[in-house]
Structure formats: structure tokens, C-alpha cells
Amino acid sequence: MTDINSIIEAWVEKSSRVLDLGCGDGQVLESLIASHQVHGYGLEINSESINHCISRGLNVIEQDLNEGLGNFADNSFDSVLMTQTLQTLRFPHLALDEMLRIGRQCIVTFPNFGHWRTRGDLGFRGRMPVTKQLVYQWYDTPNIHFFTYKDFEVLCAERNINVVNRVFIGGITNDFGLDAIWPNLFAHTAVYNLSK
Amino acid sequence: MSTKSSSTVSANIGSEQSVLFRRPLQLACGTVLEEHSLTFETYGQLNDAGTNAILICHALSGDHHAAGTNKDNVVGWWDSYIGPGKPIDTDVFFVVCPNNIGSCFGSTGPASPAPATGNVWGAEFPVLEVSDWVKSQTYLMEHLLIDCWAAIIGGSLGGMQAMYWAVNYPKKLKHAVVIASSLKLSAQNIAFNEVARRAIQSDPNFHQGNFIEHQTRPTQGLALARMIGHLTYLSDHALGRKFGRLVHSGDLDSAEKELVEFEVSSYLNYQGDKFARRFDANSYILITKMLDYFDLGANFENNIKDAFKQAACKFLVISFSSDWRFSPDCSKLIVDALIAADKDVSYLEIESDQGHDAFLLPNKRYEQGLQGYLKHIAKTLFKVAV
């Protein structure tokens, strides 16, 4: 099965400068350092995740993405990453603009709300979806924006964001190639490589 | 200058030591101290490779007694963080904490005799800068046979020393831990220091700094200076939580309201008087000025990024949410410059209502962050299993 790390690794250059927004416990950064010797920094606000990063010797900066990224200079990173975090931000569109200002390229991953499981939950059960990618109940979820990969591409077009590459990840359906044929139905996660 | 083996050092765990350097120390102001002494304490044991040494840099009113309980039954000022099994683990690291020159706890300072006259220096003690403290610490480093510090750690003025080491002696440290500190003081900070100095200088017992000659001490002025300082190190919320409007003596409902003393008043007066008994007024003036003068970017045309490009160590920067003298914004400027200079840095903004004083006080997140960072140092620098 395709995993997010190997897709990101294919797009990140060796020994480049990487900023990971919402880096969690630093797993993506750590694997990029091991495989690509990148010089990376992660931004995170969860204190346990920050402790994990520090104990692993990773550069982690306690900073709330919702309060902006004005402290980072234009084009100061080769790649700016954001994995499974865009849907939690107050203003995802502004965050994307900032990522493209700071980085030469951006890599964004997000859960595709068009996936058949989420459609099924809402369409047939009449309930807000709870899936492997969207594990929370409606009242305690940090995910405050729900969108499909099509919605995302409309936003990119509106803001003149160049989609350099994209990969869709499905579950078991991946094996049948369904997420490539009909990604909005079969991909639970979308991975995008963007530039200005 | 004498030298000693690591075994002698380990025999003196936690006990006060003193060393006299009979070697000139050229100060930033141009004056040369022909000799100077440092009083210091060490905790733990230097390993054979000499790779586990940590330097603790004290702040304005600190001393060499950072950890443990000394012969006078006083607990060290950073005992919550330094000791066996604590974040700065003395079972793993060899920890050194000097009292710095210009201070008043045994090291050469305004209360020491001036070699030229034999009288105490008093107000004549030369103006000091952070660079002078650091230079004097390099003498101590050689004395203890340490080639490179595993880490230099300091809060407030201590953080300034750690940054100065990193930029100016890049080969001499592997990590700098900069806590509740700043690249330079703000106008408001300098102003608070000026009010404190004025309080001391206005005391009739100050005698232009030559109070020892007059066999007196400006305790009222010094207490007032400390009360102002102490108040700014706390937050409104922490004071409110601790004291509220509690009454220490007297009765607010009585006719004699003027006899009422609030708890917060009693506390502040007590702190001021206690401090005035232990600290030297000239040292207070000297060290607050040292804080005012500090500007890490000054030698780099105010380009902090260029300054930090000199550094070769990794950084941990920590701030506290309610600290308004060395606010999180001050620490963020340090972090942003380090990232721009492509240096390794982690940053923690600890939630606390204890103001600037939070850097000295127990706090679970702060302890965990520092402990995690130092354990990783031990693992990578000298392969201590954790």
C-alpha cells in the first residue's frame, strides 16, 4: 500500500531545508532526515508531541499555525509540509498562501471527504462520518473544515496555485486501482505537491 | 593557576570551592584585572573523556550555590532542576556553577580589595559586560580541564551568557539552553533597572558607592530596588492568587485603617529586606547595567542572523507565557534568527502564571522539556542509555 512518507520522500530534495507545519511527534521529519539528510524544523502545539520531538533530538518549535507564519521569511525553505492538518486550521486558504510564500514547494495531505465511507455515513446513515482518517465525533473533532479533493482543486485554481503533482491513497481499493479511476470516491487521503 | 584532576573535583561534590587566577583578565571597558577569583560549586563527576560537563550561568542576583543544601542550610536557587534524577541530572552530568565577577558571593567584586590601594573597590570597580563574565568562565573551564561543555544553561541574564558563548566561543559548547532571556533589553526593562539604581543611589547610606569605607550599607535603597524588581518578575495573576487582598495585620473594618498591612505588602517588604542583607548595592548597580548593555547583535551590525551564523552548537529556547520582563516575544526573536541562520533549535513556550520567576520554579512541562533535551544530549554525546 502506498504510504504518505514514501510519496513525500519522492518529492523532497536531498539536504534541503524543510519546514513541517503541525509535525506531530516528528515521524515524517525523522524519516526525511534519515533518508534525505534534510535540515528540518517542525511546528507543533501539542505538548506531548513536542516532548516526543525533543526526546528524539528533532528541531521543534512551539507555534500555533492559526496565529500566522509571519516570522518566516519569503522563500526561506525548500519545502513546506503539512500532513493531515489543513482541515484543522481556522483559515486553510490563508495558510496555503503563507506556505507558498515561505517555501519553494509545498506538500499538503488531507483527508478526502468525498470518500465512499464518509459519503455512506452522511448519505445513508444520516450521521457525520467517523472513519480511520476522521476518528473524532462531531463535537470533539479538531477537523473544522470538511472538503473533497475537488473542492481543494477549485481553491487552488482560484488562488493561482500550481498543482505540480498529486497522489491519491485509498484503502483496500488501492489494490484494484479504483482510487486512480475515481479518486473522489475511493481515495481517503490526497497528497498534493504545490508551487506558486 | 593551579590545575586539578577530575578525581579531586568529584571529591568536592556540592561543596563550595574557590580559585584565584593570577592571570590578567582584559575587560571590555579596557581595564585589566591582574588577578581575580571565582567561587563555584560542582555537582556530579566529570567523565574520563570530559564530555559530560554543563555550565550553569546565574542571573542578576544568583550565586554559585545552585543545587543541594549548603553548610548554612540554604537550598540552592535551582535545586528543583539540578540533582540526581532531576532534569539536569548530576548522576549523568558534571555540573559547574560559578559566582561571577562583580557579584558578591566570594568572587572578585566591588566588595573585594582593589590591588592598587588595598582598599575595597566600592564604586571604583570597573564596568562589566556579559563578555567579561564569559571570558572569566573560560578561565574556570581550563582550570577544571574541560575542553568543551556538553551544554551551557542559563535563565534571564544567564541565557545571555549562553548565547554569548555560542556566538563567540563556538567550539567550546555543544548545546546552549536559553531560558526566559532576550537578545537585548527593551526600553521598559532598562527603565525598571534605572528606577532600581536610583533607589539605591538615593539612600543617604550609599555614599556614592563607598559605603563600606563609611562602615554602613544602603539597605533601604537596596530593599526598595529589590521590591521593584521582584514585583516585575511576578505576574498580576500570580500575586492575586497568592495574596489577593488578604490582611497581614490590622483590621479593615476598624476605625484605624491606617494600621492595616496587606499580606502582599508584608511579603514584598520581607523580600526586600532579606535581599538587602545578602546583596551588595554596588554589585546590583553593576549587574543591572551589564543587562542594559547586552546586545548580541551589536558586533554584527545588528544582524542577529549573522551573529548566530558563528554558532556551532544546538539550541533549546524556553519562555513563559506570563513573563512580561523577558516575554515569549523576546524568545521568539532568538528562535526566528536561529532558524534563519539554519541552526538547530527547539522552542518551548511554557504556560505559567508565575511571570519571569517561572524559570526558577517547579513546572511539569518545563521539567519534561529540559529533561528530554538533556537525556538526548547524554545519549548522543556520551552514549548514556536512557
Same domain, B327 and B257: no
Which residues in chain A have Cβ-Cβ distances shorter than 8 Å to B344?
59
With a cut of 80, say whether residue B8 has pLDDT above it. no
Same domain, B30 and B137: yes
Cβ-Cβ contacts under 8 Å for B81 (sequence gap 6 or more):
B87, B88, B367, B370
> Total structural domains in chain B?
2
Q: Which of A127-141, B45-59, B71-85, B123-137 has the lowest mean pLDDT?
A: A127-141
Interface test with A, best of B318, B334, B339, B371 (most A CBs within 10 A): B339
Is B1 domain-assigned? no
Which whole number is the average pLDDT over B163-187? 98
Phi, psi of B21 (to 5 degrees): -95, 110
Of the ranges A170-184, B5-19, B55-69, which is most confident?
B55-69
Which residues in chain A have Cβ-Cβ distances shorter than 8 Å to B348?
50, 54, 62
Query: A71 CA to chain B: closest CA distance, Å?
Result: 7
Which residues in chain A have Cβ-Cβ distances shorter than 8 Å to B332?
71
* Cα–Cα nearest to A108, from A22, A2, A194: A194
Residue A82: all three cell numbers together:
503539512
Residue A123 has a CB neighbour count (10 Å cut-off) of 10
**Which residue intervals of chain A are DSSP H helices?**
4-11, 27-36, 47-55, 92-102, 116-123, 149-158, 178-181, 183-186
Same domain, B285 and B302: no
The pLDDT tens digits of the residues spanning B220-250 come to 999 999 999 999 999 999 999 999 999 999 9
* A·B CB contacts under 8 A: 48
Chain A touched by B367 (CB under 8 Å): no
Phi, psi of B212 (to 5 degrees): -65, -40
Is B68 domain-assigned? yes
Same domain, B214 and B73: no
Which residues in chain A have Cβ-Cβ distances shorter than 8 Å to B340?
73, 76
Same domain, B138 and B259: no
**Residue B356 designated active-site:** yes
Q: What is the CATH number of the domain that holds B205?
A: 1.10.1740.110
Q: What is the pLDDT of residue A153?
A: 95
Domain termination residue (choose one: B289, B310, B330) = B289
Q: Low-confidence residues of chain A, pLDDT below 50?
A: 1
Cβ separation A41–B376 shorter than 8 A: no
Q: Which of B6-10, B23-27, B51-55, B330-334 has the lowest mean pLDDT?
A: B6-10
Q: What is the pLDDT of residue A177?
A: 66
Same domain, B200 and B87: no
Domains of chain A: 4-113+145-195 (3.40.50.150)
Same domain, B178 and B326: yes
The more confidently predicted of residues A188 and B378 is B378
Cβ–Cβ under 8 Å, residues A96 and A123: no
**Residue B203 designated active-site:** no
**Mean pLDDT, chain B, as a whole number?**
94
Cβ–Cβ under 8 Å, residues A77 and A59: no
Is B309 domain-assigned? yes
DSSP at B178 = E
Same domain, B55 and B150: yes
Range of the domain at B277: 189-289
Q: What is the pLDDT of residue A187?
A: 85
Domain termination residue (choose one: B267, B289, B311) = B289
Is B248 domain-assigned? yes
Nearest chain B residue (CA) to A57 = B376
Is B246 domain-assigned? yes
DSSP at B144 = T
Interface test with A, best of B321, B347, B352 (most A CBs within 10 A): B347
Is B207 domain-assigned? yes
Domain termination residue (choose one: B269, B289, B309) = B289
Which residues in chain A have Cβ-Cβ distances shorter than 8 Å to B320?
none
Is B372 domain-assigned? yes
Kindly give the pairing relationship between strand A60-62 and strand A39-44.
parallel
Cβ separation B347–A63 shorter than 8 A: yes
**Residue B58 designated active-site:** no
Cβ–Cβ under 8 Å, residues B284 and B123: no
ipTM higher than the 0.90 cut: yes
* Dihedral Cα B208, B211, B213, B214, nearest 10 deg: 100
Q: Which of A61-65, A117-121, B159-163, B193-197 has the lowest mean pLDDT?
A: A117-121
Same domain, B207 and B168: no
Return residues 304-333 of B near A (CB < 8 Å).
316, 332
* Dihedral Cα B273, B276, B277, B281, nearest 10 deg: -170
Same domain, B125 and B149: yes
Q: What is the CATH number of the domain that holds B300?
A: 3.40.50.1820
Q: What is the pLDDT of residue B5?
A: 36
Same domain, B111 and B43: yes
Q: What is the pLDDT of residue A176?
A: 63
Same domain, B333 and B267: no
Cβ separation A54–B346 shorter than 8 A: yes
Q: What is the pLDDT of residue B325?
A: 95
From CA A141, how far away is CA B103, in angstroms rounded?
54
